[in-house]
Amino acid sequence: MNLTLKVWRQKNASDKGGFREYKVKDISEHMSFLEMLDVLNEELLEKGEDPVHFDHDCREGICGMCSLHINGKPHGPLQTTTCQLHMRSFNDGETITIEPFRAKAFPVVKDLVVDRGAFDRIIQSGGYVTVNTGGVPDANEIPIPKVIADEAFDSATCIGCGACVAACKNASAMLFVSAKISQLALLPQGKVERKERAEKMVAQMDAEGFGACTNTGACSAECPKEIKLSNIARMNREYFTASVTTENV
C-alpha cells in the first residue's frame, strides 16, 4: 500500500517543531508500524535527510519504550503498543499523522522522542517494598489467595509507556501511579508501607506537573496492557485512608 505520513519533526527540546509530509510506497500489510517507519528512514538516509527519531527497543510490546501518537491516539487505532501495531490496520492511500506523546511532564527531546523520566522519579518516591537482598522469609511462608495474586498481577503488568498520560485531556498520570500503588497494596508484602507509599507517590506525581483526574477513563481505554480504571479508585481509597489515619503510635 502507499501512504502519506504527516510526521512531527523537532530538532531538539528548544526547537519549535512542526509537521513534515512524506510519502511511502509499497508498504506490506505484514509490516509493523515501526518497520514502516524504518522504511521511511532508510529512504530519508538515502536522500541525505536526517531520519525521523523515535523511541523503540524490544518490539514485542513489553519494554514500553515505543510511544507515538498516531492519528490522534496513543499507540494508534488498536489497544496495543505501536510496535505491535501492524499495517493491516491501515488502508491504501491513507494519510497518517504521527506525533510525539503530548504532556507537560513529558518534554519532547527530538522528533517523536519524549522524556518520561518523571515516571522513574515517581517509582523512586515509593513504588517498592523496603526489603534488602537476603534475610527474607521462604517464598511459601505467606499464602496469598489466587484472586488477590491475580489482581495484583493485572496491575503489575503496566509497562510504563505513558499512553495513559498521552490519552488524558488533563495529562494525568493517575493510571500509571495507581497501578503500582494497587499492586503493592493488594499484596501482604506491600501492605506494611501502603499509607506512606500512597502519600509519597501522589505527592511526586503532582510535583512532576501531571494533571488531575476527571474520570473520563480515556487512560484505561487506550492502555495497551488494559490496566483497569478500578486501580484509580483503589488509589484514591489508599490515599484518603492514609491522609485521615496514621501509623504513628
Partner 1 sequence: MILDSKTPSGPLAEKWTNHKFNVKLVNPANKRKYEIIVVGTGLAGASAAASLAELGYNVKAFCFQDSPRRAHSIAAQGGINAAKNYQNDGDSVFRLFYDTVKGGDYRSREANVYRLAEVSVNIIDQCVAQGVPFAREYGGLLANRSFGGAQVSRTFYARGQTGQQLLLGAYSALSRQVANGKVKLFPRTEMLDVVIIDGKAQGIVTRNLITGTIESHSAHAVLLCTGGYGNVFFLSTNAMGSNVTAAWRAHKKGAYFANPCYTQIHPTCIPVSGDHQSKLTLMSESLRNDGRVWVPKTVEIAEKLRKKEIKPADIPDEDRDYYLENKYPSFGNLVPRDVASRNAKYVCDEGRGVNETGEAVFLDFRDAILRDGEDLVRSKYGNLFDMYHQITGENPYKTPMMIYPAVHYTMGGLWVDYNLMTTIPGLYALGEANFSDHGANRLGASALMQGLADGYFVIPYTVGNYLATQPYDKPSEDHPAFKQSEEEVKEKLERLLSIKGEKTVDYYHKKLGKIMWNYCGMARSADGLAKAKSMIKELKEEFWTNVRVLGTEEELNQSLEKANRVADFLELGELMIDDALNRNESCGGHFREEYQTPEGEALRDDENYAYVAAWEYKGENQDEQLHKEELVFENVKLTQRSYK
Q: Which of residues 204-243 bind partner 1 (CB under 8 A)?
A: none
Amino acid (one-letter) located at 178: S
Q: What is the spatial distance between Cα 194 and Cα 186, in angstroms, rounded to a whole number?
A: 9
Q: What is the DSSP string of 175-198?
A: HHHHHHHHHHHHSHHHHTTHHHHH
Q: Which stretch binds partner 1 (CB under 8 A): 91-99, 143-151, 163-171, 215-223?
A: 143-151
Q: Which stretch binds partner 1 (CB under 8 A): 164-172, 185-193, 213-221, 233-241?
A: 185-193
- Residue 215 C-beta: closest distance to partner 1, Å: 27
Of the candidate residues 8, 33, 40, 55, the single one contacting partner 1 (CB under 8 A) = 55
What residues between 107 and 126 interact with partner 1 by CB under 8 A? 109-110, 113, 115-117, 119-120, 123-125
- Residue 55 C-beta: closest distance to partner 1, Å: 6
The half-sphere exposure of 5 on its side-chain side, counting CA atoms within 13 A, is: 25
- Copy the grid coordinates of residue 207: 510535583
Q: What is the spatial distance between Cα 89 and Cα 102, in angstroms, rounded to a whole number?
A: 23
CA angle, residues 50, 52, 56, in degrees to nearest 5: 135
What residues between 6 and 45 interact with partner 1 by CB under 8 A? 11-12, 28, 30-32, 34-35, 38-39, 42, 45
Q: What is the spatial distance between Cα 195 and Cα 185, in angstroms, rounded to a whole number?
A: 9
When asked if residue 136 is in the footprint of partner 1 (CB under 8 A), the reply is yes
Q: Which stretch binds partner 1 (CB under 8 A): 16-24, 94-102, 179-187, 213-221?
A: 179-187
Q: What is the spatial distance between Cα 194 and Cα 223, in angstroms, rounded to a whole number?
A: 25
Q: Which stretch binds partner 1 (CB under 8 A): 97-105, 136-144, 214-222, 228-236?
A: 136-144
Q: Judged by CB, which is closer to partner 1: 104, or 212?
A: 104
Q: What is the spatial distance between Cα 34 and Cα 21, in angstroms, rounded to a whole number?
A: 17
